[in-house]
Structure 1
């Protein structure tokens, strides 16, 4: 397994909510805004701001089949991108609560 894949998997395993993002991406911004609105605690990694960002993005594609950002995980489950997160708005509180990312 590549170092990037190991690192990406460790981040996913160690955090209840993870957003792999790019700082300039409008879809990423929309996802972060929604999570911030919910006062969710989440691990954010801006792939364009870390040295191994491209390798991590390749690794995420291997793990999830999704190349685009944001690439979102809740309770170690791949949620998908911004449209997937927005589509789950109705169940998001429950998902975040069960992940321990927002107060019960």
Structure 2
């Protein structure tokens, strides 16, 4: 397993909610804003601000089939991107509660 894949997996495993993001991405901002509105505790890694960001993004594509950001995980389960998260708004409170993220 590549170092980037191990790092991504570790982030997913160690955090109730993990968001792989890019600081300039409007969809990432919308995701973080929604999670902030829900007072969720989440871990975010800005892939454009870490030296291995591109490698982590490649690893995430391998793991999930999704290359775009945000790439969101709740309770180690791949949720998808911002539109997927927004579509789950009605279930989000329950998802975050069961993840222990609120």
Q: TM-score, normalised by structure 2?
A: 0.99
Q: Give the superposition deviation at 1:83.
A: 0.1
Q: Give the aligned partner of residue 67 of structure 1.
A: 67
Structure 2 distance, partners of 1:79, 1:27, is 14
Tell me the secondary structure at the aligned position of residue 48 of structure 1: coil
* Residue number in structure 2 paired with 1:26: 26
Could you tell me how far apart the structure 1 residues matched to 2:47 and 2:56 are? 7
Q: What secondary structure does 1:86 align onto? A: helix
* Root mean square deviation, CA, Å: 0.3
Give distance in 2, aligned partners of 1:10 and 1:31. 21
TM-score, reference length from structure 1:
0.97
Secondary structure at 1:45's aligned position in 2? strand
1:21-53 Cα deviation digits (max 9, x unpaired)? 000000000000000000000000000000000
Displaced runs of 4 or more, over 6 A: none
Query: Number of paired residues?
Result: 102
CA-to-partner distance for each residue in 1:55-79, whole Å, 9 max, x for gaps? 0000000010000000000000000
Structure 1: gaps spanning 5 or more residues: none
Alignment match, 2:90: 90
Q: After the TM superposition, which residues 30-69 of structure 1 pair with which residues of structure 2 at under 5 Å, given as runs?
A: 30-69=30-69
